[in-house]
Structure formats: C-alpha cells, structure tokens
Amino acid sequence: MTPALLCIGGMDSSGGAGLLRDAATAAEFGLSCRVAVTAVTAQTDRAVSALHPVPPEVVAAQIAAGASGARAVKIGMLGCGAIVRAVAAALDQTLDRTRVGVPLVLDPVLRSSSGRDLLDPAGLGVLIETLLPRATLLTPNLPELRALGDWLGLPPGAEAAAIVAALQARGAGAVLVKGGHAEGATDARDRLYLPGAEIREFTAPRHALALRGTGCHLACAIAAGLALGQTLPEAIGRAKASVTARFAAAGRADTKASFETGTMP
C-alpha cells in the first residue's frame, strides 16, 4: 500500500499554495495525501478575495478520519485559534491512540505573499502553546520567526538563535529558519537548529522568479522524507532540491514563453 501523509491546511483556489501544492509534493515523493481542510480561500497570485474558515469540529472530524496509519503529518494554514485548538486535540486523540512517534512538520503560516493574514493573532499564541511542543520540526521564515519572538516577549531585533532557543524552551524540537526573506542575500540559506547540536546550513541558488507555495512545498517535502524514514538533515536536503527543481522548471518555461512570444509573427 502506498504510504500516506496527512496534510492539514487551507485550500488556495489558484492552486499555487496550500493543500493542492501539498498533494502535488506528496505525489512527487510517491506518497498518497490525506487532507484536513482548515479554510477555503479564493485567491489569485495578487490577492486573497475571500477566506472561509471550516468549523473546528469538521476539521477535527477530517483528522479523525485521516490520521490512522499516516506516516507523517504536515500542518500549514490554520486560520484562527479555535481551529488550532481543534487540530491539537484531534491529533492527540487519533495519533496517540494509533501510533506514537509520527513525525509532525509545522509550518507556522501567518500571511500570504499577497499580504492577507492567514492566522489571527490569538491563533499564534494557541499554536505556540498547543502545537509547538508536538512538532518534530518547525519551519518559520524570517518574518514568522520575528512574530514568534514578539509573542514570546523577546526584544525587537533579537537574534534568530535567541528566538529559536526561546521556542525550544517552550517545547519545540528542531527548527529550520528559512532565509529566503533575508535582505540582500544572494542565495537561499536555511539554518537547522537541532537541540544540543551544531547549526547546519542548507543553501540553494536564489531565483529572481517569485513562485507561490514554496513554503508549503518545502515543509511537505520534508514531511514526505520523514515518512519515508529519512533523517531530518537528509529530508531537508532532498526537499530543498525538489523546490530548486521547481524553480528551474518554471524558469525554463518562462524563458520558452518569452522566446516564443519574441519569435511570433
């Protein structure tokens, strides 16, 4: 039987991010994908025009239906505190009853790249209290790391390492800080903080293209690697390679499109 991932997150009607991106990523790694939809959004690449949260009890029912036998769990957009609470409770009831030690990758999605909040401020606090201690890996980008640091009361401008230490003191396991938002950087440099170990860096070339759903893609590919029994560094390395390949393919398509346009009569 094909091993399954359970992906908990939002539907992006444009298909760029969210659960459709997760399903494509799971398929790339040869896994099937079960989903628990937390919110339905209407989006283009430029704006989110509607956001409809799914009732928390319906989110919990989807998890109860899909968690049994899943080899790993990936969490993305959650929307609001009530849904975060429902997800944590449903995971406790289903995963702990069926299997212990299912890896959980938590992508603390706060905002779309078009600027719409995808988790309300109360939701961030609930996420820190309920889901953080359950996460095998947390995958914040730099703005998300800062928001987590603010919530924990760290001073503005606190170093990434200090925020990670505060998150780990609250029960987080490994933290992968994604450097894609770093100003002036020439490559995409992500740093893995494993408790009690040296920091490990993962770099990939930085692309001029802005692609949607790269955070979803990376987190889901890491969850897929963990589901297949890879170590965390191995899963992260392969996940970065998968995202890089998507950028390369999109770049080729872009070049081809402009070439074709340029040669049209």
List residues binding ligand PLP (CB under 6 A): 9-10, 12, 16-18, 41, 76-77, 109, 112-114, 212-213, 215-216
Supply the minimum distance, in Å, between the C-beta of residue 17 and ligand PLP.
3
Whichever of 66 and 213 has its CB closer to ligand PLP, that residue is 213
Supply the minimum distance, in Å, between the C-beta of residue 191 and ligand PLP.
20
Supply the minimum distance, in Å, between the C-beta of residue 117 and ligand PLP.
11
Whichever of 120 and 168 has its CB closer to ligand PLP, that residue is 120
Whichever of 123 and 213 has its CB closer to ligand PLP, that residue is 213
Whichever of 52 and 252 has its CB closer to ligand PLP, that residue is 52
Supply the minimum distance, in Å, between the C-beta of residue 41 and ligand PLP.
5
CA 164 to chain centre: 17
Supply the minimum distance, in Å, between the C-beta of residue 44 and ligand PLP.
10
Whichever of 25 and 112 has its CB closer to ligand PLP, that residue is 112
